[in-house]
Structure 1
Amino acid sequence: MPDSSPSKDILLKVYDSAIAEYRFNVQLSWDRNKFFLTLVSAIIASGVGFIKVASENRVDSAFLFCLFAVAVAITSYAIETLSTGKKYIREANYKKMLIERELGLLNTIPNFNSPRSNFAVAVTGGQRNFGSMMLSEDIKKSISQKSITDNLAKIYAGMIVIEIIGCIISAGMVIGPLDMQAIKTNVRSFAERLSHPISQTDVKRSLAVSPH
């Protein structure tokens, strides 16, 4: 039976295309994240700067609420896009490694004991984990901790927290005018309580005066 495997020349051409596809997906994912980070940061900055102006007008407060709500939706979509981009990158990396395996680039160089001692194009721990990638059928596995993707996801999560707080504040302004001085006083009082732990004497005194 004739050998149906592609020739080395064809593999080299496909390998060149696989490298280009991998680079394209990495760049596309980063360009998307730059867009979302810039857009969401601008919305948050505008919303925070608009809070004081909108505090005396319920119509402006309603607009501010909608602005933060839209920001939450955009950031949620950014997280989904981040995850999708990671899947595309992993798939491109998988195809690249398949060709490297056929070309013998994953074989360890003689007299070198390190698993990194080969000619495969791999610069991260995930790319170098050839065995796990080749045997795994789950391209949708969870994102590695402390990776660039994980850090971006945490940044987006922090943005959503800020946006939700903005929604709560603006919703409160729609219901009634916002007393900025009262908010500052309450925040300062809460911070002082955190910096001065409650003593046992204070606890006993509180229990002694509390109704039964």
Structure 2
Amino acid sequence: MSTLKCKCQSFEATFDAPPRLTFNCHCHSCVAVVKGIEARDGFSGTSMKSDEAGGAAVAVFKSNNVTVTKVDGAKIGFMKVGEGGKVARPYCTECGTVLFNVWAPKWCAVNRNAMTAADGSPFVPKGPVLNINAKSAFDKDKVPEPKHGSVTVGMLVKFIPLLTGLAGDGSNSKVTALMAEDLSKVESVPITWE
């Protein structure tokens, strides 16, 4: 079992299975949100950055493998990319820790750096962690190996059941504190790369 906690302990979730996927995402969308939240005055949370290139450290779980054990909706903020953004990423407003890169009814993408193993030590993925979307990185030359220009076929095979609703039990939809009620009111980080 592993645990996700923000730095100030305002949020906690447990996971009863290993992640379905682990990776570092270097796409503009993931990196822009992480930079936007972590650049704020008073940021004291656990960084989601995977390395100096700034990729987002992610672990993906099915909804039936996550249990939110502590959440205060008043301490959850959301950020999206651009005014028309469709994904509201939840973070703790007290310390600034990005909690989830995606919180969807049947799956979630977790800030891997804020996770601990069952013994309380930092969570360490098994095997090498692939740096994906390297071709979309703000600084492509800084993305470390192993890397891939986009998402691998093997990752797609694991993602498709999540995206199509064939995996996960939908239980994440019960944790409404992690879902933005109105995307039009969610804070946005500007799109600066077009």
Shorter-chain TM-score above 0.5: no
TM-score by length of 2: 0.19
Q: Which has a greater percent of helix?
A: 1
Q: Which has a greater percent of strand?
A: 2
Structure of larger gyration radius: 1
